[in-house]
Structure 1
Amino acid sequence: MMINVMVATVLAASGQVVDLRPDLDKIVEGQGATAALARVSDDKRSRTASVGKRDLQRGGRPAANGYFRIGSVTKTFVATVVLQLVDEGRLRLDDPIDRHLPGTVPGGERITVRQLLNHTSHLYDYMSEPGYSTNRWRGEARFRSYQPRDLLKVAFAKQLPDDGRWHYSNTNYVVLGLLIEKLTGMPYGEQITRRILRPLGLRHTIIPGDRAGVPSPHAKGYEPMPELVDATRMNPSLDWAAGEMISTTADLERFMGALLGGRLTSEESLQAMRTTVQTGAGFGYGLGVQAYPLPCGTVWGHSGELIGYLTFAFRSDSGKSLTLSINPSTRNPSTEEVMGMAVKTFCGTA
């Protein structure tokens, strides 16, 4: 396979910003991706890399500033708005969700806002039901429109065992989207736009609603069936506040920098966000953020997956950041491949 590569570096100071192009090349060559974007930065300079093909039929190099579906990185935006509402005194993290959305959640008098944010609510994940996962090919059903309360009906038809284990559930963030709308009287996406996107100038970050397309430029997303099929167009309302958003590497980097730099919430709320529970999956989970321990320290952010697209957006306390968008091919990139790039970026070793 011919691999198209574009690398751009912005220099503002001496020192090195790691080049992930060889790592991305290997993933594409090994059938782990059809295309991939990376943006690596410190506080003074950044490097972008683009590899693979934006369209397997027509070819062409992916744009380094291209759009992509960010999946569950959406959760970090939602959590940020919830914490801003906490800062404004409109709710408390340990409020039972029934106080604000009475009768919406079974057992809602015992489930707190904090538990929804860090996935300790034990609410069943509606995406575990056949036909409800946007990480899998759904044929023509991928254009169907869903309402949030329809998703909750699917979730609440089953119960998770109270086994003391951590359970990631997209249902939590559908409930949090409804919470934002109840407290503000506006669509949750409008609150994200007013509170985060406009103030930070994130002009390339979108809450698509029922719109099926991804703005140009973008690399197409594919799903092996077993032949690769174009999965780019879909109605993301099935993800809603749990994962519908679209962005770019530059916008995600700016958002994570502002959030973890204390520009979007109070210090108290940021510390609450960074207070994690153990997941048993190799990372800690806070309030809408993941904490990954690396040999040189912890990095903070979130990953996302939606059919045809994988996203990783992380930042260290020292100001280094790594943002990846990967379009999987016949397989997903391995954990070792992704973590290898993280260690190389943040720790300076491969």
Structure 2
Amino acid sequence: YPNVLPTITIEQLLYHTSGLYDYTNNIAYGNTTILLDPSGIQIPDQIMENFVLTSNFSPGVKQEYSNTNYLLLGMIIEKISGRPYYEEIRDRFDLDTNYPTMAVPPFEIPTTDLGNLWFDRSGTGNFFVDVEVAGLSLNGLFSGASSTGAYAATPADVVKWGYDLYSGKYLSESTMNKLLTPHPLGLFGISDYGLGVVIADATCGPISYGHTGSIIYTSNMAYLPDHDLCVVAMTNDGRAAADLSFVINITEQMICLYLETVVSTDEQADTDNQLKIYPNPATVELNLDFENPVSDLTVKVYNQLGQKVAYYSAKQKENYVRLNTVDWANGSYIIHITTKEKQIIRKVIKQ
């Protein structure tokens, strides 16, 4: 293809360090798939020829998300397997048994009804229509998204997929380590991003693995390894596509609400290290007392808005930490404690 260097590697595609222009940013592509020919089937080869413009940067110089990377990866799967990428995935992961609602319209027919899509066809932000009621086809939208993220499924099946993938059901330990290792450049220079996976701290503390997705339908999935928990938020409201923080915030609210249900405000003891947190409620100070010394200790404290209000770390062995709480506003806080052996989440009150 004219704007794809032959030296780009598969790893660079997965890491988004290829520099390839994101075809979904091309206005001509959006006009074709949504406005001019919504019922037409978009072919990846034609998308690469017609809508991928000059590269944004040389491979390996930056890490910037581009859907073109995933489109090419799907084409590589098809070249190697000799069949459509979605057929290879269906058989390889036994979707019919494990995730029966997963399908790639219009090439596969979903086993459950697809939620009607509400979309601002005018582009003004004031005129939203039910695409199905308006008689518009979604063929162009889904076929154009292709292997960049055109799967339809129920939240339950997406949760199960995320849980199975990130808990290690499908990949070896060495591959999982590679998958979850963030590129040193940082996505857009600010975010941790592995091989096709967002690595982030939830606002209330714990680390999560997952991804967002939007082809006007919008979703976000996050798996918390420390809690063996997977959470998904999905919407058919097209307004969410303009601001992915909508589904990200819903996901994080669900995570934080879950964590609040599994911790209490009483003094709590951890059975491995006999951790005591006192006084709780706190007034001027909060003490963390480990009966057995722990190493590689990190303590993060978050308020109800997800803002970090305190941080402490130590490489050497510690068995006592004192936090000054004088400047904390009254209310509840989440303490995220990481040691070399484990992670602990606790809830405390400042009054």
Shorter chain as denominator, the TM-score bin is 0.5 to 0.7
Partners of 1:137 and 1:187 in 2: how far apart?
21
Aligned residue number for residue 49 of structure 1: none
State how 1:185-334 maps to structure 2 within 5 Å.
185-198=82-95, 201-210=98-107, 216-224=112-120, 225=122, 226-232=126-132, 233-235=137-139, 236-277=142-183, 278-280=186-188, 283-294=191-202, 295-307=204-216, 309-317=217-225, 318-328=227-237
Amino acid at match of 2:206: G
Change (3 A) 1:199 1:269: farther
Partner of residue 106, structure 1: 4
Question: Is the CA contact (8 Å cut-off) linking 2:218 and 2:247 kept in structure 1?
Answer: no
Q: Which amino acid aligns with 2:235?
A: I
Q: Matched residue pairs, number? A: 244
Inter-partner Cα distance in structure 2 for 1:290 and 1:187: 26
Distance 1:158 1:299, change over 3 A: same
Deviation at 1:192? 0.6
1:320 deviates by 1.5
CA-based RMSD: 2.9
**8 Å Cα contact 1:214-1:246 kept in structure 2:** yes
Residue 56 (structure 2) pairs with residue 150 (structure 1): no
Alignment of 1:76-115 (within 5 A): 106-109=4-7, 111-115=8-12
Extract unaligned runs of 5+ from structure 2: 261-303, 305-351
SS of the aligned residue for 2:158 comes to: helix
In the TM superposition, residue 325 of structure 1 has moved relative to its aligned partner by 0.9
Q: Could you report, residue by residue, the CA deviation over 1:252-307 in whole angstroms, capped at 9, with x for unpaired residues?
A: 11111111111111111111111113114763221121112224221111111112
Q: CA 1:168/1:327 → structure 2, altered by over 3 Å: closer, same or farther? A: same
In structure 2, the CA distance between the partners of 1:173 and 1:338, relative to structure 1 (3 Å rule), is: closer
Q: Distance in 1 between matches of 2:212 and 2:36?
A: 27
Q: Could you say what secondary structure the match of 1:244 adopts?
A: coil
Structure 1 residues 208 and 340: CA distance shift in structure 2, 3 A: closer
Contact 2:28 2:51 in 1 (8 A): no
Structure ranking higher in strand proportion: 2
8 Å contact kept, 2:29–2:51: no
Q: Which amino acid aligns with 1:252?
A: V
Bigger relative contact order, structure 1 or 2 (CA pairs below 8 A, ≥6 apart): 1
Alignment of 1:46-61 (within 5 A): none
Give the direction of change, closer, same or farther, for the CA distance of 1:105–1:188 in structure 2 (3 Å limit). farther
Query: Are the counterparts in 2 of residues 282 and 292 from structure 1 also a CA contact under 8 Å?
Result: no
Give SS of 2:37's match.
Answer: helix
Q: Identity over aligned residues, as a percent?
A: 23
State how far apart, in whole Å, the 2-side matches of 1:276 and 1:286 are. Answer: 4
Does residue 339 of the first structure (1) align with residue 240 of the second (2)? Answer: no
Give the Cα separation in 1 of the matches to 2:192 and 2:251: 19
Measured after TM superposition, the shift of residue 219 of structure 1 is 2.7
**Residue type of the alignment partner of 1:231:** V
For 1:121 and 1:290, the matched residues in 2 are separated by: 17
Residue ranges of structure 1 left out of the alignment (5+ in a row): 1-102
The 8 Å contact of residues 74 and 85 in structure 2, kept in 1 or not, is answered as yes
Match for 1:122 among 2, 6, 19? 19
1:348 aligns with 259
The one-letter code matched in structure 2 to 1:262 is G
**Counterpart mapping for 1:35-46 below 5 A:** none
- TM-score for the superposition, normalised by structure 2: 0.62
What is the identity, as a one-letter code, of the residue corresponding to 2:187?
Answer: T
- Deviation string for 1:28-52 (max 9, x for gaps)? xxxxxxxxxxxxxxxxxxxxxxxxx
The structure with the largest alpha-carbon Rg is: 2
